[in-house]
Structure 1
Amino acid sequence: MRTILLVGKVFFLFIAFAFLSCVTPPYSLQVPREIPIDAFGMAHAGGRFTEKENRLLNEMGVSWIRSTFRWDSIQKRTKQWDFSRWDRFVENAERAGKKVLAVLAYDVPWIYGKEEKEARRHIEPDKIPYFLQYVEGVARRYKGRIHAYEIWNEPNWLFWKGSDEDFFLLAAAAARRIKEVDPHSCLVMGSFWRVPKGFIRGMFRAGAFQYADAVSFHPYALTPEGVWALYDELKGVLQEIGFKGDIWVTEIGFPTGGWYLSRVPEEQKPSYVIKTLAGLLVRGARVVFWYELFDKFSEGLSPSGLDSELYFGLNYPDFKPKKGAAAYTLLARRLAGATYRPDLVKVSPELQHTLEILPFLGPDGQKVLLLWSKTGEKVYLRVSPLKGLFQVDIATGDRKQIPPEGYFTVEETPIFLSQEHTRLKDRPEDSAEKEPAGKVGSSSQGKRVEKQAGSPAGQQVEKVGSSPQGEMAGREASSSEADPQEAAFLESGFTLEQVEPEPKQGVTFSGELSFFWKIR
């Protein structure tokens, strides 16, 4: 998103109170779900065209990059086309093994006459053919190389200044043109700011979703819990209108500075990253794009302490990671291709109300358990079995083996537990080893995960997402080579037992998280 200069304070107060409402999820979180291998994306990434940036994206586990192929950067005059920047962008993405989500948006002043000097952020109906020339030019030039398209950015917000009806006409015409030129591309409609119910219903009635493979939105909120509520709300609206495609989150993030009420101290950003990403994925989000890869200025060099748009990055532009980068990397490296398995945890009903408990089984047989307190109340737990169990620091990626006699405390900051069978190799069981960074290859060449090792017997696993080509990438977990001991490990789960605090009998892992009003 671009810097928003003029927004009334009354509006922010209105939105702040809107977050206090609850939305009942239109689905069950007790249903196992496969996390797509390419579920992790990054906004405003891939534009430096350097190997250093490509390595960073690989190390962080990013599969998708999102950028706006602005009309005014491609067609400056009626017959003056310049694709040079975007040729470099697409070539670099292919070299890095990243999928591209291209946003087709905004206008050019020349379509309104010589007297116009600035774009209007509005395409009048009689000017739509000009926009379609631009759309067709991009789709034809990069056919088979751009994996997905969005039409416009946040049209229900400050980025579209025309009527809703005019946008519906534009979106429907552009969607049709893209599918005519590149029928195998994935068309992601919407790019909504939050959940504009009337706008969504209007688009649907106007036929703008006819060619859509997915609907996208930007659920900016005060907290991760607010983000989840917006996802649930959108899911409900789409079920109401009968849309059966995927949901993509093409922007979400929290700034660490500036005047946006959504700002969060950098020390708390790892917690927000973990909760936001994990909560969206277990709800069925097909892809989540974090906003964004870099801050606008290096640490301590920002010219403004007020502009929150300068502070959304997970890294500084000099590649120094901010707090939150390790948390994103941890989830992208460990949850991509995994299956959300709520059946892997045995816990009392009381603890279910007190704790957020998200268990996953990876395609390599490794288990992950995320825990945090919903209420802020401290909960003392004992988890079993302990063999092969590690706790991973979400802020640094460091891990330690939990001693057999260890008790630990669950608070509002998420705890990340990892368990692997002793026969499963790949990651040595050192007592103080950082989570390994590695490359995520070109997932476009992979195969959809059709069978997940250790999926619950008699229980169907919900598959999230499929592109028109059926090319959803995945890693196939091979259970044919597993011996009975490994098979038993894959089917076994965690038992969580609430205990009285005994700090002298083990290691206590805890975290603090104070509450701030936040909004974007």
Structure 2
Amino acid sequence: MVKRWMMASLAVLMARVWAGEPVAVLAGAKAVRLHAAAGETSPPHVIRTGKEVLTWTLPADLPKGMYRVEMNVRTGNTDANALNVVSRYRFWTDALGEEEALTFRGKPGAPPKRTPGKWPHHVGVVEGLRAVSLSGGQKILAGAKSSWAEVNQVRILRAQEEDSLAFSLSTPRERHLYRRGERMQVVVRADSFLAAPTALTGRLVLSEPTGKQATAKVVHLVVPPGGTRKLTVAFPATRNGLHIARFETTWRGHAYERELALAVVSVAKAPQLPVASPFGVHSAGLMEMYQTGFKWVRLWDTGDTWNRHERESKGAFDFSKTATKVDRFREQGFEVLGVLAYTPAWATTRPDEPHYTGAGAPYPPKNLADWRDYCREYMTRFRGRIRHFEVWNEPNAGFFKGTAAEYVALQKVAYEVSREVGPEIRIVAGSGTGDFLSWTEDILSKGAGAYMDILSFHAYTTPSSPEAANLEGRLRRLHEIAAKHGVGDLPVWNTEVGYWSDRRAGVRPATAAEVLARAPEGLAPNWLASWPYRPIPEDDAAAFTVRHYYLNVAGGVERLFWYSSVTSSLPLLCRDSSPRLAALAVAAAAEQLAGMVYWQRVDLGLSRLHLHLWRRGETVRGVLWYADRGTKGVRFPSLGAGTILDIWGNPVPVEAKGKLSLEAWRDPLTITAPAAFFAAAKVDASELVLPVTDCFVAREVTPARPVKKHTSPLHHGDRQVYGLPDRGDALGWKLRGIRPSYYEVMIELRTGVVGNLYGVLGTYELSHRRGKQAELLELAPMAEEKLVPKPVGTPEGQRRVYGHARVPGSLWLEPGDELVVANAGGFGFVGSLMLRETGKTRREFDLPSLAQMPALDGDAADFAGLEPWSLNRRRQVAIGVADPFASTAEGDAWRGPEDLSAEFVAARVPAGLYVAVRVTDPGDLRPAARGAWSGDCLELFLDLRSEDEVGLDAVGAGTYQIFLRPPPAGRPAKLEGRVPEGARVAARACDGGWQAKFLIPVDWAGRQTLGLDLALDDDDTGKGRKAQIIWQGTGDNFQNPSLYGRLRITPAAK
């Protein structure tokens, strides 16, 4: 009977063990708390400051063995992240030691629950990441590197068979950080809890930053019984960025995987970086900084404030911790920005007001003399070590509880003291955040500009990209405010900005899907309004971070300090101390911009398509990205010896020869190339959508009823539109980054109402402008289904319909052209402009072939049966008409084809390119004595570059501009300008004009196309050129060969 009972009890126990039921449960209320502050009154299971340790003694009858540990704990302190405390818990034994402490993760399938009450938080079960060896009577300990953590219960569960072996990966390098060219070291550790030796074979796989497997090595381990085996494996660090080392092995059918993050950079360390570097960071609690391209450190949230330096009473200074910190940072090559802030309790005007750093800290001092003495003491002690001091932190956001005038008073004292202590000391002031523009305006209006050397601000944009949050516009406005108050020449620093980012669950960055999966319920889809501190994926944060630096520098900002290094919500380091993606992106940016000076932005015609240039001497470096969804192609000429690097600083393979098309997207590309390479950049897309937000206001009739943006979905649907309230109001787009070509033009409008889709189309006028010329365009309904007008579909929409209207046919457009839409009656609404390249070109022509070269005698009366091309239309006139697009010639210097025109032919001949020209120019011929183009002249333009370079919009080797003046009677013709070697010409005058024949040596082997254009210059009075007519191009022909006609060679000889 007893035996039967014992067997049944054992069966129940084993069932509980294998079902995961605990074999021991320890209540948090029974814990003994160590290291608690004197007078601590919180319950014994609460870790209030992060320093406390909770201990229990295991039951004496617990058998020695391997066990799993679960704890019921407070998992999160915010609604935004119910698991933000989990990674901070630790569990160890008196035998194991804290350095081998067990870490935890949220238990799968057991989501935390939110508690009610005034201070709600989340509570749930966490499980240890591995098994531990325990025995009866042993002391166990738990802690958490977090304030307001709690351990409600500890549960001990019997380990499974697979827990008999444990594996881990580590690296001996601090921060897991290697320089490119070094060898990365991965230490594989295996722990055995078995009674016999264990032989294992595994694989160690290294993945590159792209996720592609770079290399794999076989690992052999023999682990002694109850012991440990370590093996170091090395990999070459050849590419920058994040690398993941993954160890894989099996034992008795159990699979094991462990991963380790490694980082590689190639940027110089801080001592080698220039002091003028814009890259700054907050150190948080670090004493040893990480070398990923930062040069500056800002001392904030580090305990280096007045209420710490002079805490107890006046004159009782203690700068020892700050001195140790500053000396270490400077030894590591960093410049330091100190912050003067936070009044000690004995000096504050409000000693009764509690604050997390000390009573009354945000309030002004009772006596400015105390502040003056403190500033003098700080600046004097650290003269030569800290050269920049900022007055307070974010005084407009609760960190300062005084008025703007009281802030300026503090600033004035700090400024005066700096001049007394050392002329090299600089006072940084302003430090506003949020609506920092209003704060800056307020303090400058109260005289702050006289007491600062540098104007500071904090331009956070989280969780949006800097472009979406209008960083550029805010920077422009800041400079306007500074100029308005007479301090427009002051340097500007952005001393704090950062992005909320999730901590990694393992070693891999969280994806966008994982971030959204952890979102609090009920927040979608309006993330920005209901979750303003939403964390963003690490790859987004990396791109946004370096774009912040680029845009701040482009906007006239000298320094930017990223916040922060190890905070819970905005970290640049992972909990294993390895750099996150943002830090690695900064490393590449800092390396590429070291010693470079910002030059200019290349305008590609789209506000979200960025190409910014830096230069140092003859070296030009461009940074390209697209700040909207998707990608945008950008076309460049041949890269030649230039280079392209990705966001991590790794080479991007491209063809060195031929035209280059790059896909700009979220991650910036860094390009090193000659200045002409960037000047030739064009948007490479057959269809362009120019948002209405890229428009300019061409005319505003009534300022009280402005032309402005409307974005109400109820009234206008899912689109942005600009309203044109008054007849005559107009807005337009300047086409700056397009290819010269024929385009279909479509524009989004409020076209009518339900039942009459195009009822108000006649109230809009669309015009095409080029310089001072304008042409009115017809607008017609669309046939394309997706662009046909559709109703808004809401009562507020008042039966409105929105859709596209089109310009019939196609329109030749060039960079610099404008398309302007005006209100011709009613209240108009205008959306986006769409341009669709037709593929048609006015510049492609067949070049015929002749078996025999016609006589080079200057007689071009007979074109050898070839079909001539003409220069005789008003639209071909570049100089000499008021408006090439008008139908009238009144007041024009060019009086029509009988005044100046030409016909010409070109052909392939065995000896090269044959060109014959007949010029109509009655009256006396007047070649200029100087500057051939300033008198009667023929200009022949040729692009004889390699096949893949013909048509590039920059001159170079292989492009020619040949001048031919009409020769005096009896004298041979002479070629001038950029002339191909061996070129010949014959020319002569004739009735009503003159004629010329050219032979240009051309190697036809492998050639399919070439570029050619012809221009005529005319002087009828001897006072200089009155007119110029061009076959295909414009007055820019001399510097832009893309405007020439393109000739396709035909094989048949005539």
Q: Report the TM-score when normalising by structure 2.
A: 0.33
Following superposition, the deviation at residue 115 of structure 1 comes to 7.0
Task: Tell me which of 387, 398, 402 is aligned to 1:162.
Answer: 402
Instruction: Give CA-to-partner distance per residue, 1:369-389, whole Å, 9 cap, x none.
Output: 222235446433332231233
Match of 1:325 in 2: 583
Asked whether 1:238 is paired with 2:482, we answer yes
Match of 2:566 in 1: 295
- Does the 8 A contact of 2:600 with 2:612 survive in 1? yes
Which protein, 1 or 2, shows the higher relative CO under an 8 Å CA cutoff with sep ≥ 6?
1
- Does the 8 A contact of 1:269 with 1:324 survive in 2? yes
CA gap of 1:170–1:385, structure 2 versus 1, over 3 A, is same
CA gap of 1:137–1:261, structure 2 versus 1, over 3 A, is same
- In 1, Cα distance between the equivalents of 2:595 and 2:284? 23
CA gap of 1:279–1:80, structure 2 versus 1, over 3 A, is same
Partner SS for 2:633: strand
- Does the 8 A contact of 2:336 with 2:388 survive in 1? yes
Following superposition, the deviation at residue 282 of structure 1 comes to 1.2
Partner SS for 1:267: helix
- In 1, Cα distance between the equivalents of 2:338 and 2:446? 23
Match of 1:281 in 2: 553
Partner SS for 1:413: coil
Amino acid across the alignment from 1:326: L
Partner SS for 1:168: helix
Instruction: Give CA-to-partner distance per residue, 1:311-350, whole Å, 9 cap, x none.
Output: 312222533121112211111111132133338x6xxx76
Match of 2:1019 in 1: none
- Which piece of structure 1 moves more, 271-280 or 105-114? 105-114
Alignment of 1:509-520 (within 5 A): none
Following superposition, the deviation at residue 125 of structure 1 comes to 5.8
Q: Unaligned regions of 5+ residues in structure 2, if any?
A: 1-76, 80-272, 503-518, 520-530, 687-1054
Instruction: Give CA-to-partner distance per residue, 1:75-122, whole Å, 9 cap, x none.
Output: 122232111111112211221222111001111112359877742234
CA gap of 1:124–1:378, structure 2 versus 1, over 3 A, is closer
Task: Tell me which of 623, 632, 642 is aligned to 1:370.
Answer: 623
Amino acid across the alignment from 2:681: L
Task: Tell me which of 393, 396, 403 is aligned to 2:646.
Answer: 393
Instruction: Give CA-to-partner distance per residue, 1:424-445, whole Å, 9 cap, x none.
Output: xxxxxxxxxxxxxxxxxxxxxx
Q: Report the TM-score when normalising by structure 1.
A: 0.65
Task: Tell me which of 472, 495, 498 is aligned to 2:680.
Answer: 495
Following superposition, the deviation at residue 139 of structure 1 comes to 0.7
Match of 1:199 in 2: 439
CA gap of 1:110–1:256, structure 2 versus 1, over 3 A, is same
Match of 2:312 in 1: 77
- In 2, Cα distance between the equivalents of 1:48 and 1:237? 37
CA gap of 1:123–1:219, structure 2 versus 1, over 3 A, is same
- In 2, Cα distance between the equivalents of 1:339 and 1:116? 48
CA gap of 1:124–1:42, structure 2 versus 1, over 3 A, is closer
Task: Tell me which of 654, 669, 672 is aligned to 1:402.
Answer: 654
- In 1, Cα distance between the equivalents of 2:434 and 2:381? 32
CA gap of 1:263–1:232, structure 2 versus 1, over 3 A, is farther
- Does the 8 A contact of 2:455 with 2:490 survive in 1? yes
Following superposition, the deviation at residue 41 of structure 1 comes to 3.4
CA gap of 1:332–1:130, structure 2 versus 1, over 3 A, is same
- Which piece of structure 1 moves more, 259-268 or 107-116? 107-116
- In 2, Cα distance between the equivalents of 1:274 and 1:114? 42
Alignment of 1:19-98 (within 5 A): 38-45=276-283, 48-50=286-288, 53=289, 56-57=290-291, 60-68=292-300, 69-78=304-313, 79-98=315-334
Alignment of 1:309-388 (within 5 A): 310-342=568-600, 351=605, 355-362=609-616, 365-376=618-629, 378-388=631-641
CA gap of 1:121–1:162, structure 2 versus 1, over 3 A, is farther
CA gap of 1:129–1:36, structure 2 versus 1, over 3 A, is same
- In 1, Cα distance between the equivalents of 2:436 and 2:652? 45
Following superposition, the deviation at residue 151 of structure 1 comes to 0.7
Match of 1:450 in 2: none
- In 2, Cα distance between the equivalents of 1:490 and 1:500? 23
- In 2, Cα distance between the equivalents of 1:196 and 1:46? 23
- Does the 8 A contact of 1:385 with 1:495 survive in 2? no
- In 1, Cα distance between the equivalents of 2:662 and 2:678? 20
CA gap of 1:207–1:36, structure 2 versus 1, over 3 A, is farther
- In 2, Cα distance between the equivalents of 1:228 and 1:262? 22
CA gap of 1:175–1:37, structure 2 versus 1, over 3 A, is closer
Following superposition, the deviation at residue 188 of structure 1 comes to 0.7
- In 1, Cα distance between the equivalents of 2:604 and 2:423? 51
Size of the aligned set, in residue pairs, is 377
Partner SS for 1:399: coil
- In 2, Cα distance between the equivalents of 1:37 and 1:408? 36
- Does the 8 A contact of 1:123 with 1:170 survive in 2? no
Instruction: Give CA-to-partner distance per residue, 1:241-300, whole Å, 9 cap, x none.
Output: 1112111010111111395436321121122022211111011111111112x233xxxx
- Does the 8 A contact of 2:542 with 2:582 survive in 1? yes
Amino acid across the alignment from 2:653: Q
- Does the 8 A contact of 1:120 with 1:161 survive in 2? no
- In 1, Cα distance between the equivalents of 2:684 and 2:362? 61
Following superposition, the deviation at residue 356 of structure 1 comes to 1.3
Following superposition, the deviation at residue 37 of structure 1 comes to 5.5
CA gap of 1:415–1:383, structure 2 versus 1, over 3 A, is farther
Match of 1:467 in 2: none
**Structure with the higher helix share, 1 or 2:** 1
Task: Tell me which of 335, 338, 349 is aligned to 1:102.
Answer: 338
Q: Which has the larger radius of gyration?
A: 2
- In 2, Cα distance between the equivalents of 1:158 and 1:412? 38
Following superposition, the deviation at residue 138 of structure 1 comes to 0.3
Match of 2:708 in 1: none
Partner SS for 1:90: helix
CA gap of 1:162–1:64, structure 2 versus 1, over 3 A, is same
Match of 1:256 in 2: 501
Instruction: Give CA-to-partner distance per residue, 1:14-46, whole Å, 9 cap, x none.
Output: xxxxxxxxxxxxxxxxxxxxx986233333228
- In 2, Cα distance between the equivalents of 1:230 and 1:36? 28
Match of 1:267 in 2: 539
- In 1, Cα distance between the equivalents of 2:406 and 2:78? 25
- In 1, Cα distance between the equivalents of 2:361 and 2:655? 60
- Does the 8 A contact of 1:228 with 1:276 survive in 2? no
Q: Unaligned regions of 5+ residues in structure 1, if any?
A: 7-34, 297-309, 421-488, 502-520
Asked whether 1:181 is paired with 2:421, we answer yes
- In 1, Cα distance between the equivalents of 2:421 and 2:663? 53
- Does the 8 A contact of 1:40 with 1:336 survive in 2? no
Instruction: Give CA-to-partner distance per residue, 1:178-211, whole Å, 9 cap, x none.
Output: 3222232111111111444443334234333323
CA gap of 1:322–1:242, structure 2 versus 1, over 3 A, is same
CA gap of 1:143–1:272, structure 2 versus 1, over 3 A, is same
Following superposition, the deviation at residue 493 of structure 1 comes to 4.5
Following superposition, the deviation at residue 66 of structure 1 comes to 0.6
- In 2, Cα distance between the equivalents of 1:382 and 1:196? 39
- Does the 8 A contact of 2:326 with 2:385 survive in 1? yes
